[in-house]
Structure 1
Amino acid sequence: MRPLHVGPYEVWPPVVLAPMAGITNAAFRQLCREQGGGLYVCEMITTVALVERNPKTLKMIAFGPDERPRSLQLYGVDPDVTAKAVRIVVEKDLADHIDLNFGCPVPKVTRRGGGSALPWRRRLFAKIVRQAVAAAGDVPVTVKMRKGIDDDHLTYREAGLIAQESGVAAVALHGRTAAQRYSGTADWDAIADLKQHLDVPVLGNGDIWEGADALRMLAHTGADGVVVGRGCLGRPWLFRDLEAALTGRGTEPTLPALGEVAAMMRRHAELLCGVFPTERDACTDFRKHVAWYLKGFPVGGDVRRALAMVSSLAELDDQLAVLDGALPFPQDALGQPRGRTNSPGKVALPYGWLDTRDDESVPEGAELADSGG
């Protein structure tokens, strides 16, 4: 197993935390980094919000003092605005690595021609990536994308080659189309196909639930690393398991008893207090994680609801004390999807989007003002 190289940076083990809206803030990234090595990407930042110096967006670009390389994902549809945003990142020394988002399947993004819809317009895609790489200078730029809009409109191979020719340091492929959203099974064959066509590192994303899954994906695809998203929700120790698997120390999953999970929950909330302006804000943000941490454990609805309504660390401590710390980890929750598991559906696109692939004009109203997704 070789380290992953992203420009001048060596990433070991070759694991990348995917940016997730409302999840991958500095606190969650630190929690995961305490478990194992890798590259940890902050929440998605929109280019227009960065260019306009949106206060909320600027606060989201926060990294720990020992977080290196600092990895930031940008979402943009306008090549000129994207280039301006990249120049700000470089000139203000906001990050060491920039990832470009062409994988988001959310309707509010694709109906504007952004995210996973954008590579269909190959000339616009090329222009965005080319200008971003030129503006970045020595800062490595990577691209994250999906297979395409749907099975009849696949773009990943051509987009990967365009990105490589434009000078990106690596390409990450989520083995699903936009139409699949987060349903079904990721197509690892597509990742293997892309790897065969590119010289730059290729990262595989999709259905990494356990350390053993990472080994299977790398063996199946020949990819240079794995990208992990939903699998770590409520399980930050997954990065411990990934490091063990990828360094040859074994693939047995970590099975923390409920008491250990409770300690991890407390640590998570404590770290959030260092990110949010008030303890109440931090605990409010923590609430969304409760169901993921308790997934599969026989914990009653009243306790779950109480934990999902805490407003202070003291309240959290009181509720965690109610849990039976000796309860074993539910092994039937292993290898199972976590987070979003929505159904496939028709992709929302701008009018006439599929009529041509060579229109490089920027769709009207395409840019998003809100960072984080």
Structure 2
Amino acid sequence: MPSPLPSGAGAPYSPSRKFSTPPPCQKNRTARKSTRCEPAVTHRSSLPPPGPQAPSDAPASPYAPAPPDPDARNDGRTLADPVALGGLQLPNRLILAPMAGVTDRTFRWLAKRAGCGLAFSEMISDNALLWANAKTWVLAAPYPGEDPYAVQLLGKDPDTLARAAVLVVEEWGAALVDINMGCPVPKVVKNGEGAALLRDPSLCGRIIERVHKAVAGRARVSCKIRLGFDSPSSLDVARAVASAGASFVSVHGRLRTETYSTPADWEGIAGVAETLSRGPERVPVVGNGDVLEPGDAVSMLARTGVHAVMVGRGALGNPWIFSRALSLARTGDPGPPPSAAERVRAAIEHLDALVRDKGERGAVLEMRRHGSWYIRGLPRAAGVRSRLMRVSKASEMASILEDYLDHLEHPGGHVDSTRKDGPSCPTSDV
């Protein structure tokens, strides 16, 4: 089967070709060539365009909102309503969480097209940016027209983070700089970054104050925290960053020591939202944790009193969560979930866009994960996933997905889940 990818797409990245100017830490920098690359699409999209949708005449959905709850904290606002987060105007209250290795340009582009109001970049190391690490610079660049562009920075030193914030604002016009104060990964915590910052609310406040001062008038500053490190401390951290100038605070409803097997504590998120709503700064709060279905997003907004809902794992292989959650908020019906064929078509489109943006090798490595997420739970997905993990060419990966799509649309056919389409590649390379 011929490849659906355009010929000559996605030349591999070359540092000498893209970054021949002085590193950004030098004072008198010359203008650098932009590294922005717009994901292009050659397949018909199965995602609905963002924007208002016509009311549904379908029967009442099991997802329909319950009658008004006297304990509801959302003051009648819905996910589909516009919101201002510290002056940053968003078309709705759905936000894509920053996820390392996931929320690159292509993923953000797909999420925004599906209706997401704001999408964060992957977490970017402040030191890697300032040392002009080529891979980090490619990671940090937005796609053309990405507005607002929201960057999440990882670090622990107020001055270093401030310099990195100035860089992303000046180089790429970032409208929002978010500081990661919640990453639970051991190597990050061991370095005193991410969730390790929660142990010192005073340091969290100094970081926000310094970054806010550095980009004042040009960009807004926020942070993403957890309910605490090994015990609840979110109220102290939230007060510290709010008084230091944070435009809003995103709260993940778990401690650093808790895994996804522990249900997210939405009441803990509600406590932070209530505390900051009564404080002198009245800083908005964004809730995050266990938003896996459209109904979860609607429920979190209603039950916690947050200003917006952040979606993480629920968007993996599932950009439709944004359009369906907005439909649920507007009409009481999220509409049907995507069909198996729609999910595979979206995977093919995602692969095509990644090749255009990152080149063949990078696209294939990333699509091993993304492809697995798109087809999770579908018939014979295990065999297809195994084949995706073994190939090394985009055309081979596209052929596997096209073959699987043909099987789904014509069930009488046969999917060869044992055939090898390329050399074996360890999944640890992903």
Category of TM-score, reference length = shorter chain? 0.7 to 0.9
Matched with 2:224 is: 144
Identity of aligned residues (%): 37
Matched with 1:228 is: 311
Once the two structures are TM-superposed, the CA of residue 326 in structure 1 deviates from its matched residue by 4.1
- Give deviations 1:283-324, integer Å, cap 9, x for gaps: 222111122112111215432211233333421332123323
Paired amino acid for 2:365: T
Spell out the pairing of 1:66-77 with structure 2 (5 A cutoff). 66-77=145-156
Spell out the pairing of 1:3-14 with structure 2 (5 A cutoff). 3-14=82-93
Matched with 1:116 is: 195
Q: Does 1:210 align with 2:288?
A: no
Q: Secondary structure at the match of 1:207?
A: coil
Conserved 8 A contact 2:222-2:249: yes
Q: Does 1:168 align with 2:251?
A: no
Q: Does 1:309 align with 2:309?
A: no
Matched with 2:365 is: 284
| Alignment gaps of 5+ in structure 1 | 329-373
Write the distance in 1 (CA, Å) between the matches of 2:129 and 2:375.
36
Q: Does 1:269 align with 2:269?
A: no
Q: Evaluate the alpha carbon distance shift between residue 63 and residue 222 of structure 1 in structure 2; reply closer, same or farther with a 3 A threshold.
A: same
Write the distance in 2 (CA, Å) between the matches of 1:254 and 1:232.
16
Matched with 1:23 is: 102
Conserved 8 A contact 1:99-1:144: yes
- Give deviations 1:141-171, integer Å, cap 9, x for gaps: 0110000012xx3211111111110111100
Write the distance in 1 (CA, Å) between the matches of 2:147 and 2:132.
24
Matched with 1:293 is: 374
Q: Evaluate the alpha carbon distance shift between residue 237 and residue 309 of structure 1 in structure 2; reply closer, same or farther with a 3 A threshold.
A: farther
Find 1:56's aligned residue among 114, 135, 139: 135
Q: Does 1:256 align with 2:338?
A: yes
Conserved 8 A contact 2:250-2:288: yes
Q: Secondary structure at the match of 1:297?
A: coil
Conserved 8 A contact 1:257-1:327: no
Find 2:272's aligned residue among 188, 194, 197: 194
Matched with 2:426 is: none
Taking structure 1 as the reference length, the TM-score comes to 0.83
Conserved 8 A contact 1:211-1:251: no
Q: Secondary structure at the match of 1:41?
A: strand
Aligned residues: 324
Conserved 8 A contact 1:61-1:94: no
Q: Quote the RMSD (CA, aligned, Å).
A: 1.8
Taking structure 2 as the reference length, the TM-score comes to 0.72
Deviates more, 1:200-209 or 1:279-288: 279-288
Write the distance in 1 (CA, Å) between the matches of 2:227 and 2:166.
29
Q: Does 1:78 align with 2:160?
A: no
| Relative contact order higher in (CA < 8 Å, ≥ 6 apart) | 1
Paired amino acid for 2:264: A
Structure index of larger Rg: 2
Matched with 1:346 is: none
Write the distance in 2 (CA, Å) between the matches of 1:41 and 1:211.
20
- Give deviations 1:228-248, integer Å, cap 9, x for gaps: 1111111111111122223x1
Find 1:156's aligned residue among 191, 216, 234: 234
Write the distance in 2 (CA, Å) between the matches of 1:280 and 1:80.
36
